[in-house]
Structure 1
């Protein structure tokens, strides 16, 4: 058992470099950088904002940053990959972990920048962090699902607007109180709202795990290429689609 765990750790370590190099860093990095500029505006211009205004900026910036995570699971090499020596969920898990790590680092920088540009600012950072992580998870879920069912392995152009739509749906959901309550609200109302956020995060994480862990279905291109390979390897074979 210990040898097996050690071997798996070695394989995962060897997968990290190639998997990260195969990712599309430009959309993720661009969205995170643009979102950081959103919260930097008050600090750069010296604006004196109310705490709830800073909270709105952080929420808006989190949505902007999440659109970049919608490209996390894009894999343009998917149509040419007939077989891999490891389960497909392993590279997907590395991509998802990297996306969450990048968003976590961005969120820490955004909160630090917000406090640096304000005097005596008090924000409910744990609750805002829960909201931001849930929005990021929605984007990752959209990316995982769209890439899973994309024959080309590129789901970002669909997942990004889908993530925005999901965030908007959460914002306008007819709940009482609403999912986005002012940052000046405290007490039982704030607690009740963020219990709903925690439940939503658990559901979204379960959806991501399901999309990543489910066995990959072969695309039409893979099936055709596999058939040609078997036909060329077996002389006299009638082929996959001959019906004999």
Structure 2
């Protein structure tokens, strides 16, 4: 038993270094930097800053970081690593494990950049940010599963941005997501954010499983 555990630990350690090198840190860093710039806006506004402007700034920050995270599964060597014995689910989980502490630290900094006097409820806005990030990751995982592209991030980021814009403009009022803390629909809106978060995580998990057969009926199993 201990030998099997040590082998498993060794396999994980062997994967970490190559995965760290292939994670698109530049895209994530640029998006994170842009997000922090948005988060500083209320502080720069001084006494003109309001709770609503701070909330909008943090929402824009969350979207910016999620756009960078949409590139997480970009891997130029994807078709090379398809032949390795490590399953795609494991490789996805490892990338997520590398991103998670970075995202948590980044979000903490973004919250602290907003003056305490106008900072929106931390729990609610953090739930929105987590759901937005999960949607980006789910989109990336879906793109990897449904295509042979080694760099689906750009298309996923574009789709996420378009969805955010359309949702803010066209989303039905009775299912409102982007509401203010003093709005009576705040609690109901965050129930919907919770559903979105759970749905995105479910899609991400489902897309991590490796297809048994290539689309088009070639009859040959493959791993990607």
For Structure 1 versus Structure 2, the TM-score category normalised by the shorter chain is: 0.7 to 0.9
Change over 3 Å in CA distance of 1:46–1:219 after alignment to 2 = same
Cα distance, 1:179 vs. partner?
Answer: 0.7
List gaps (5 residues or longer) in structure 2.
Answer: none
Q: Is 1:183 paired with 2:181?
A: yes
Cα distance, 1:69 vs. partner?
Answer: 0.5
List gaps (5 residues or longer) in structure 1.
Answer: 227-244
1:46 counterpart SS class: helix
1:137 matched to which residue of 2?
134
TM-score, normalising length: structure 1: 0.79
Which of these two proteins has the greater Rg computed from alpha carbons? 1
TM-score, normalising length: structure 2: 0.85
What RMSD in Å do the two structures reach over aligned CA positions?
2.6
2:150 matched to which residue of 1?
153
2-structure distance, mates of 1:170, 1:99: 26
Cα distance, 1:215 vs. partner?
Answer: 3.8
Residue 164 (structure 1) aligned to one of 158, 161, 164: 161
Cα distance, 1:121 vs. partner?
Answer: 3.2
Task: Number of aligned residue pairs: give it.
Answer: 218
- Of stretches 73-82 and 139-148 in structure 1, the one that deviates more from structure 2 is 73-82
1:42 matched to which residue of 2?
42
1-structure distance, mates of 2:2, 2:48: 58
Cα distance, 1:180 vs. partner?
Answer: 0.8
Change over 3 Å in CA distance of 1:113–1:87 after alignment to 2 = same
1-structure distance, mates of 2:83, 2:187: 48
Residue 195 (structure 1) aligned to one of 186, 191, 198: 191
